[in-house]
């Protein structure tokens, strides 16, 4: 107990009973100080650190979620990442509490490849993937031998190729599915070529290829608007809803943590749907 700020005059001890009262007062004062210290520790324990891609994820967390959590006594700290690997590593290690950058299929693939057990605690939004013009712009009349930039990570490459299949440009083997690669193409009537790149690099190299199939978050970061894409995914398709919803991810130990539960709850409301529509238009859509 800390009595540094307490001073009691000896003259206040007029009688034994009075002395006891004075001592009781001191104890009460000390208890108040101790409680304040405990309160500070509790407040500190209410900090929630979430890793996120700069846009739209970090924007959503800072602009929309942080004020809501603050009202609940939770300080939301957002750590931005520009890659798809480190935020999961930092979540597993405990460097951050959770992350918000990836879709369901990416998480499943990451866990399988790395022997990790990160968990999905809530679907938040999805970002339709778009085909953006580079050297060419007429997606209905693609030239023979045209080059398409596509993401090179396992889940997003398959997603890009499925989009090109939907556009009638290629045909994939029946068993290719969402993990398809160019090796799974069984029909390529226009002899399309594929430039496999890190997803984050595609907006920077779009002018080096005829077309680029770009993830929504990287398109937003680069100032590319979905409405300007020459083609885009069907946001209502089953594969989008079941595989590519962006999620809040954490460790099994924290999956029921009240801070993370509060974050998910804040991002699964009608008000949040309106925020997404007002802020991002069709480029970022609610997944709940």
Give the residue among 108, 91, 92 at the shortest CA–CA distance from 100.
91
Tell whether the model's pLDDT for residue 236 goes beyond 70: yes
**Mean pLDDT value of segment 60-75:** 98
Q: What are phi and psi of 161, to 5 degrees?
A: -70, -35
Task: Report the predicted TM-score, pTM, of the whole model to 2 decimal places.
Answer: 0.73
Highest mean pLDDT among 19-23, 124-128, 203-207: 203-207
| Whole-number pLDDT of residue 177 | 87
Q: Please state, for a pLDDT cut of 70, what percent of the chain lies above it.
A: 84
Q: Provide the token pair at 242.
A: 């079941």
Residues in the chain, how many? 288
**Mean pLDDT value of segment 183-205:** 97
DSSP letter for 256, please. T
| Whole-number pLDDT of residue 2 | 41
Least confident of 2-16, 107-121, 130-144, 222-236: 2-16
Angle at 92 (CA atoms; ends 86, 94), nearest 5 degrees: 100
DSSP letter for 191, please. -
Q: How confident is the model at residue 35 (pLDDT cuts 50, 70, 90)?
A: very low
Prior bond of 56 cis (ω within 30°): yes
Give the residue among 90, 126, 131 at the shortest CA–CA distance from 106.
126
Angstrom distance (rounded) from CA 123 to CA 172: 29
Angstrom distance (rounded) from CA 103 to CA 10: 69
Task: Select the more confidently predicted residue: 246 or 154.
Answer: 246
Q: What is the mean pLDDT of the chain?
A: 86
Tell whether the model's pLDDT for residue 5 goes beyond 60: no
The CB density around residue 236, as the number of other CB atoms within 10 Å, is: 9
Q: Where are the beta strands (DSSP E) in 90-204?
A: 98-103, 119-126, 130-133, 147-151, 171-172, 185-187, 193-197
Task: Select the more confidently predicted residue: 107 or 35.
Answer: 107
pLDDT tens digits, 83-102: 889 999 999 999 999 999 99
Tell whether the model's pLDDT for residue 45 goes beyond 60: no
| Whole-number pLDDT of residue 40 | 39
| Whole-number pLDDT of residue 206 | 98
Give the residue among 255, 231, 246, 269 at the shortest CA–CA distance from 53.
246
Q: Please state, for a pLDDT cut of 90, what percent of the chain lies above it.
A: 76
Sequence-ordered list of residues with C-beta below 8 angstroms from that of 203, at least 6 positions apart, any chain: 132, 212, 214, 218, 219, 221, 222, 224
| Whole-number pLDDT of residue 27 | 37
């Amino acid at each position: 107990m800390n009595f540094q700020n307490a001073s009691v005059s000896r003259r206040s001890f007029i009688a034994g009973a009075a002395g006891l009262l004075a001592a009781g007062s001191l104890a009460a004062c000390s208890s108040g100080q101790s409680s304040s210290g405990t309160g500070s520790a509790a407040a500190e324990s209410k900090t929630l650190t979430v890793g996120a891609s700069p846009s739209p994820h970090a924007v959503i967390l800072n602009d929309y979620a942080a004020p809501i959590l603050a009202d609940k006594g939770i300080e939301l700290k957002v750590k931005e990442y520009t890659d798809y690997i480190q935020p999961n590593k930092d979540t597993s290690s405990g460097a951050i509490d959770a992350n918000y950058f990836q879709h369901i299929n990416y998480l499943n693939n990451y866990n399988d490849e790395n022997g990790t057990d990160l968990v999905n605690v809530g679907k938040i939004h999805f970002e339709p993937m778009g085909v953006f013009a580079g050297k060419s712009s007429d997606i209905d009349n693609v030239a023979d031998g045209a080059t398409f930039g596509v993401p090179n990570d396992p889940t997003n490459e398959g997603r890009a190729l499925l989009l090109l299949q939907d556009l009638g440009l290629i045909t994939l083997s029946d068993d290719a599915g969402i993990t398809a690669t160019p090796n799974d193409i069984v029909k390529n009537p226009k002899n399309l070529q594929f430039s496999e790149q890190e997803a984050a690099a595609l907006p920077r190299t779009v002018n080096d290829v005829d077309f680029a199939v770009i993830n929504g978050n990287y398109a937003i970061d680069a100032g590319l608007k979905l409405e300007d894409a020459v083609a885009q995914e069907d946001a209502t398709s089953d594969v989008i809803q079941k595989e590519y919803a962006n999620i809040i991810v954490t460790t099994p130990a924290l999956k029921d943590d009240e801070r993370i539960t509060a974050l998910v709850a804040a991002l699964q409301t009608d008000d949040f749907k309106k925020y997404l529509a007002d802020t991002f238009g069709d480029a970022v859509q609610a997944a709940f």
